[in-house]
Amino acid sequence: MSAGRADWPLWEVFVRAKRGVSHVHAGTVHAPDAELALQNARDLFTRRSEGVSLWVVRSSDITASDPDARGELFEPAEDKTFRHPTDFELPDEVANM
């Protein structure tokens, strides 16, 4: 890899296998811009027609939660039982839900 390519930003690649399903993280590529990142992603992750859609996101633009701090982020939701469907009674008119 030349010195110039070593400075290219890292891009996260997401592939959607078929219409109606979610994009899934497939890996990363280095590229100087989004267009070349898409081309590199296509060449690396959809060589055998594995996908119908690609997303590339500059890694530095992603903000992620800290897995070690999951308690403070997710545990407060456990106290909100009103968000669970078990806390509601269905009217008799609703046959299936």
Query: 37 or 64: which carries more pLDDT confidence?
Result: 37
Edge-to-edge strands, sheet with 53-58: 24-30, 10-16, 53-58
pTM for the predicted model, two decimal places: 0.67
Phi and psi for 83 in degrees, rounded to 5?
-85, -10
Query: 8 or 70: which carries more pLDDT confidence?
Result: 8
Question: What structural domains and CATH numbers belong to the chain?
Answer: 3-63 (3.10.20.520)
Determine the pLDDT at residue 69: 83
Determine the pLDDT at residue 87: 60
